[in-house]
């Protein structure tokens, strides 16, 4: 690898990509709220039935394949391997083109069949609209992979943000116009999926603005010697799936719900409109879960390079302290986000989505935050260690378990059964991955003192928030309109609960100040902790 690829440059680029990824994830969660307000629960159901098809393919190709391409290119960065780099680029482009064309054909030509399996024939038009986005994947994956291989993270980061911003803008503005003109909610759904196409085009255009002659040489260079195609295709497949699997798992769970929830509700005796609205109300939990796992996503994006780097070092500090810290932070904030959201879910539900419908089901749904926080962390640790096969097997097994539980629990418990099934599947994955990581590292990730203080902090938060909600609902904000009262109650409860929890955690010092400084945005928490213990430092 050339001398331009320094650790400092790498970490700077990793931080930039982390920030960009967080912005993208936040936008992905937040836009669903105004979108639901525009189209209602039925319109939200329509969109969420089809989005997982597109999401799975775009995440795998534009993220997973981009990382795989960058790794293979980076491993052959010496000048003498220019032929190999050009071959990798061409093989990757041809391979991705085949995958994209096959996926497009499946979605476009098989739209009516897939819609029939989901129990709603009118979804076919959305599948056909969304299918066009996969045709753009080869170009965007090669551009991202090439930039990352050279250590040029800025184009990738800016491209991700622009792509998502344009997509969200088209979705919200387009659906608003379509709904106001009186068109059907299925037309609104097609417009939303069209936003993904426009967003991808915007991302590609921006990446092309960053391209220079050096980027293009590798692709057009003719190889002077034969290079085996099979190993390159194998590496592209394994690496792309392994690095994107943790991001894909939530989408695959949504995909199972697309095929089973509506059809099961309709078969149970609900009229079709009620079944659609019930599924749409159930899907309100998705943006809440996405926001809840942002901290775990931050950890997985920022600490994997650090763990991979320290694992390869033959001297100095090893990866174990970072693994322990990652686990404790994920467990800590996964617990806090899960309990906090459950406590305030009824007013949050009304504040964001107009009604408190299915708040009990959504409370169970949001338990996924805890399991996903651990899953993202464990898969990231294993990825940093180069362990990819076992996590993939576990994730697929959890997916099968989710499908079985859906088929079993939906007829018995209705929509609540789907929420329970998701938690069963995610719990299986999280526990299996934890046991596997523990078998590799014979270490204790956290001391008993950590769990004791976490229980105390959680109990304090629960008591304070419940007491405050009773006071707020019955007295403080009683004179406001229902939705405005819910907003004041929800926001004040979130602020109060977070403050009580974090202050106790800081006072308990179960995360040391020097450990907070290692984490994104952890500096503020470290300063609060130092301030709380200033008297002890003076002694």
pLDDT single digits (tens) 477-522: 777 778 888 889 999 999 999 999 988 988 888 887 777 877 666 7
* Other residues' Cβ atoms within 10 Å of the Cβ of residue 194: 20
Task: Tell me the pTM.
Answer: 0.86
| CA neighbours closer than 13 Å in the CB half-sphere of residue 83 | 8
**Is the sign of the CA dihedral 131, 133, 136, 138 positive or negative?**
negative
- Predicted local confidence at residue 413, as pLDDT: 93
Is the predicted pLDDT of residue 215 greater than 60, yes or no? no
pLDDT single digits (tens) 328-340: 888 998 999 999 9
- Predicted local confidence at residue 348, as pLDDT: 93
Q: What average pLDDT is seen over the chain? A: 84
Helices 320-353 and 482-508: crossing angle in degrees, nearest 10, is: 160
- The share of the chain scoring above pLDDT 90, in percent, equals 43
| b/e burial code for range 437-449 (CB count within 10 A of at least 16 → b) | beeeeeeebeeee
- Predicted local confidence at residue 127, as pLDDT: 93
pLDDT band at 392 (very low <50, low <70, confident <90, very high): confident
pLDDT single digits (tens) 46-61: 999 999 999 888 888 8
More confident residue, 537 or 385: 385
Calpha distance 248→258 (Å, rounded):
15
- Predicted local confidence at residue 340, as pLDDT: 92
Q: What is the mean pLDDT of residues 221-242?
A: 73
Long-range pairs, 442-445, Cβ under 8 A, ≥24: 443/320, 443/323, 443/324, 445/323, 445/324, 445/327, 445/328
Is the predicted pLDDT of residue 274 greater than 90, yes or no? yes
Distances (CA, A) of 174 to 33, 311, 447: 15, 48, 52
Q: What is the mean pLDDT of residues 386-393?
A: 82
pLDDT single digits (tens) 135-184: 988 888 888 888 877 777 788 888 888 998 999 999 999 999 999 998 89
- Predicted local confidence at residue 43, as pLDDT: 92
178-182, 370-374, 422-426: range with highest mean pLDDT: 422-426
Calpha distance 341→290 (Å, rounded):
12
Q: Cα(first)–Cα(last) distance of the chain, in Å?
A: 51
Q: How far is CA 214 from the centre of its chain?
A: 33
């Amino acid at each position: 690898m050339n001398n331009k690829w320094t650790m400092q440059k790498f970490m700077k680029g990793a931080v930039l990509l982390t920030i960009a990824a967080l912005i993208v994830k936040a936008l992905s969660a937040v836009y669903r709220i105004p979108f639901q307000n525009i189209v209602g629960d039925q319109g939200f159901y329509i969109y969420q039935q089809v989005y997982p098809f597109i999401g799975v393919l775009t995440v795998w190709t534009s993220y997973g394949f981009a990382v795989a391409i960058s790794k293979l290119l980076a491993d052959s960065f010496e000048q003498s391997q220019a032929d190999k780099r050009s071959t990798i680029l061409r093989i990757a482009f041809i391979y991705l083109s085949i995958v994209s064309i096959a996926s497009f054909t499946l979605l476009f030509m098989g739209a009516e069949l897939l819609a029939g399996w989901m129990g709603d024939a009118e979804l076919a038009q959305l599948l056909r609209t969304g299918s066009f986005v996969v045709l753009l994947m080869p170009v965007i994956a090669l551009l991202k992979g090439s930039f990352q291989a050279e250590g040029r993270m800025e184009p990738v980061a800016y491209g991700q943000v622009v792509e998502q911003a344009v997509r969200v803008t088209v979705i919200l503005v387009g659906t608003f116009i379509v709904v106001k003109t009186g068109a059907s909610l299925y037309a609104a759904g097609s417009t939303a999926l069209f936003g993904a196409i426009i967003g991808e085009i915007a991302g590609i255009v921006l990446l092309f603005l960053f391209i220079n002659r050096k980027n293009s040489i590798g692709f057009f260079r003719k190889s002077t010697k034969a290079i085996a195609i099979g190993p390159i295709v194998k590496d592209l497949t394994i690496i792309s799936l392994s690095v994107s699997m943790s991001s894909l798992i939530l989408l695959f769970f949504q995909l199972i719900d697309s095929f089973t929830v509506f059809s099961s509700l309709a078969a149970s005796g609900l009229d079709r409109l009620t079944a659609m609205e019930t599924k749409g109300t159930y899907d309100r939990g998705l943006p809440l879960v996405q926001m809840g796992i942002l901290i775990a996503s931050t950890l997985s994006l920022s600490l994997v390079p650090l763990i991979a780097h320290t694992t390869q070092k033959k001297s100095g500090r090893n990866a174990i302290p970072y693994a322990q810290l990652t686990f404790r932070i994920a467990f800590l904030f996964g617990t806090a986000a899960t309990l906090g959201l459950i406590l305030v879910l009824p007013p949050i539900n009304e504040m964001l989505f107009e009604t408190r419908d299915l708040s009990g089901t959504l409370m169970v749904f949001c338990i996924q935050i805890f399991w996903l926080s651990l899953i993202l962390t464990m898969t990231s640790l294993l990825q940093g260690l180069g362990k990819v096969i076992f996590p993939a097997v576990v994730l697929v097994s959890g997916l099968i378990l989710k499908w079985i539980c859906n088929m079993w629990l939906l007829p018995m418990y209705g929509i609540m059964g789907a929420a329970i099934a998701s938690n069963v599947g995610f719990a299986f994955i999280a526990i299996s991955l934890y046991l596997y990581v523990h078998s590799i590292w014979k270490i204790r990730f956290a001391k008993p003192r950590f769990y004791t203080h976490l229980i105390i902090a959680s109990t304090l938060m629960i008591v304070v928030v419940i007491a405050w909600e009773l006071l707020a609902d019955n007295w403080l904000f009683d004179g406001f309109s229902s939705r405005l009262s819910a907003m004041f109650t929800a926001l004040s409860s979130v602020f109060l609960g977070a403050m009580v929890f974090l202050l106790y955690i800081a006072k308990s010092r179960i995360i040391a100040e020097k450990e907070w400084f290692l984490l994104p945005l952890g500096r503020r928490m470290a300063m609060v902790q130092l301030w709380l213990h200033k008297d002890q430092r003076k002694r």
